[in-house]
């Protein structure tokens, strides 16, 4: 029963959460902590810490973590699948609609407006990530020179040069991880 | 591009690796997918990818998962969508399953911290690289409306914390009213 409930609750959350990972966290908290007590509040806050140091979207991390705590490994799998199953149908339906009617002026116009918006949002994410990489904070530093993380700066510049030279994404990520350990001994 | 076993394996492997190695979620994963499927493999063109990201962005659910479902569907239909979804979900599923049990131990390890810091910087570099390419292309097109959208959306999001959904909505309406012309395609 718990498995069905996990699948159903996370499927519901995924249908109503719009606007990215952190936006869905209050919804997940309402279900997982307040309604069913699958996690305590402090366990729920741990999800944020864990998500900082593990790959993958925070929404998936939250579903897996809550499902695992509620009903073991299988619970984690079921909750995660519940969280992504509705997306398959919604996404495919949307792609079909856009492909079919994409030549219509209206949808064409909307997409023409959204394309530059996506570029702007990626650029904006860039700034936040640069701050995090080089200054370890998410706001603009008050003392940019004094608080600079030189290890971060060097790896960032090196990886950027590699990316401009069309080196693949996976080698860059692995190389940056190794560079982190090597430079860790220097600084 | 033949839809044989090798194609599916390459698609699964690429998406799986990106999901497994990417910290920071949403836009980083999308930047990596663009670098892989547009620039490296040439399976999709840039406009197609930006359109899919724009739809994924406005769709309920997790943006990275939505994007990989849509890319998969665009590349290989329903089966492709399932593969894209699984390849994105399995790495965090497995890792969280393990980390949830030992995470204090892992969090305090100095080597783990350094590797994660390095990879965070690498992902940032890839994101910056993709942003440069996209922005340069938009500026070279020398169209005034897209440039206004870019600058206004960028400032509103970064400096005024305006909700992303609201920005997407506004830009969509601007496009709907003012940008139906062929020159914007």
- pLDDT tens sequence across B61-92: 888 899 999 999 999 999 999 999 999 999 98
Check B25 against A129: CB less than 8 A apart. Answer: no
In this structure, the answer to whether residues B86 and B147 fall within a common structural domain is no
Instruction: For residue A86, give how far its alpha carbon lies from the nearest alpha carbon of chain B (Å).
Output: 8
pLDDT band at B2 (very low <50, low <70, confident <90, very high): low
Looking at the fold, whether B115 and B153 belong to one and the same domain comes out as no
Interval A136-153 mean pLDDT: 85
Assign A23 a pLDDT band (cuts: 50, 70, 90): low
User: Which pLDDT tens digit goes with each residue over B10-29?
Assistant: 999 999 998 888 876 677 88
| Residues B43 and B121 placed together within one structural domain of the fold | yes
E-strand ranges in chain B read none
CA-based nearest residue in chain B for residue A83: B61
What is the spatial distance between Cα B89 and Cα B85, in angstroms, rounded to a whole number? 6
Q: How many domains does chain B have?
A: 2
Nearest-neighbour CA in chain A from B162: distance (Å): 11
Check whether A19 has a pLDDT greater than 60: no
Q: A181: how many CB neighbours lie within 10 A of its CB? A: 16
Could you tell me which residues come within 8 angstroms of residue B169 by beta carbon, excluding any fewer than 6 positions away? none
Do B95 and B146 belong together in one domain?
no
The pLDDT, as a whole number, for residue A176 is: 93
Same domain, B86 and B167: no
- Looking at the fold, whether B48 and B107 belong to one and the same domain comes out as yes
Contact by Cβ (8 Å): B54, A111: yes
Tell me the two tokens of residue A52: 């900082």
Lowest mean pLDDT among A11-20, A120-129, A158-167: A11-20
Do B113 and B39 fall into the same domain? yes
Domain co-membership, B79 together with B121: yes
Same domain? B135 vs B69: yes
Whether A160 sits inside 8 A of B125 (CB atoms) is yes
Q: Do B96 and A54 touch (CB under 8 A)?
A: yes
Q: Are B172 and A140 in contact (CB under 8 A)?
A: no
Dist. CA A184–CA A177, nearest whole Å? 11
pLDDT tens per residue, range B112-162: 888 888 988 988 898 899 889 888 988 888 889 999 999 999 999 889 988
* φ, ψ dihedrals at B179, nearest 5°: -120, 40
pLDDT at A20 over 60: no
B120 and B167 co-located in one domain: no
Q: Which of residues 3-62 of B touch A (CB under 8 A)?
A: 17-32, 35-36, 39-40, 47, 50-62
Same domain for B49 and B72, yes or no, is yes
- Least Cα separation, residue B38 to chain A (angstroms): 12
Residue of B nearest to A129 (CA): B124
Taking contacts as CB-CB distances below 8 angstroms, the residues of chain A near B24 are 129
Q: Which of B29, B119, B17, B28 is closest to B65 using CA atoms?
A: B29
Asked if the Cβ–Cβ distance from A57 to B65 is below 8 Å, we say yes
Q: What is the pLDDT of residue B1?
A: 64
- Residues B159, B122, single domain; the answer is no
Domain span including residue B167: 141-185
**The pLDDT of residue A142:** 85
Per-residue b/e over B22-45, b at no fewer than 16 CB within 10 Å? bbbbbbbbbbbbbbbbbbeeebbe
Q: Please give the Cα distance from B65 to A81 (Å, whole number).
A: 11
């Amino acid at each position: 029963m718990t498995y069905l409930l996990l699948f159903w609750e996370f499927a519901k959350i995924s249908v109503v959460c719009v606007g990215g990972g952190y936006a869905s966290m209050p919804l997940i908290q309402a279900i997982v902590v307040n309604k069913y007590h699958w996690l305590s509040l402090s366990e729920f806050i741990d999800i944020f810490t864990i998500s900082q140091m593990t790959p993958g979207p925070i929404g998936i991390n939250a579903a897996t973590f809550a499902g695992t705590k509620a009903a073991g490994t299988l619970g984690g799998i079921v909750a995660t699948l519940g969280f992504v199953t509705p997306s398959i149908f919604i996404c495919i339906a949307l792609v079909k609609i856009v492909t079919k009617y994409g030549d219509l002026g209206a949808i064409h116009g909307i997409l023409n407006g959204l394309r530059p918006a996506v570029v702007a949002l990626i650029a904006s994410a860039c700034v936040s990530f640069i701050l995090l990489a080089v200054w370890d904070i998410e706001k603009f530093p008050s003392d940019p020179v004094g608080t600079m993380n030189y290890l971060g700066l060097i790896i960032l510049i090196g990886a950027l040069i590699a990316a401009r030279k069309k080196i693949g994404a996976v080698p860059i990520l692995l190389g940056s991880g190794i560079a982190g350990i090597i430079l860790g001994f220097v600084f | 591009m033949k839809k044989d076993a090798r194609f599916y394996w390459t698609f699964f492997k690429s998406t799986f690796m990106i999901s497994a190695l990417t910290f920071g979620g949403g836009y980083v994963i999308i930047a990596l997918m663009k670098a892989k499927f547009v620039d490296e493999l040439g399976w999709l063109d840039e406009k197609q990818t930006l359109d899919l990201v724009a739809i994924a962005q406005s769709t309920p659910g997790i943006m990275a998962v939505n994007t990989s479902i849509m890319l998969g569907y665009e590349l290989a239909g329903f089966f492709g969508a399932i593969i894209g979804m699984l390849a994105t979900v399995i790495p965090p599923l497995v890792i969280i399953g393990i980390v949830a049990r030992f995470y204090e131990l892992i969090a305090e390890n100095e080597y783990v911290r350094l590797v994660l810091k390095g990879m965070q910087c690498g992902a940032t570099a890839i994101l910056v690289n993709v942003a440069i390419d996209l922005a340069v292309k938009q500026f070279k097109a020398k169209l005034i409306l897209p440039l206004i959208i870019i600058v206004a959306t960028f400032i509103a999001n970064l400096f005024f914390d305006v909700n992303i959904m609201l920005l997407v909505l506004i830009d969509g309406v601007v496009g709907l009213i003012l940008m139906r012309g062929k020159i914007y395609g």
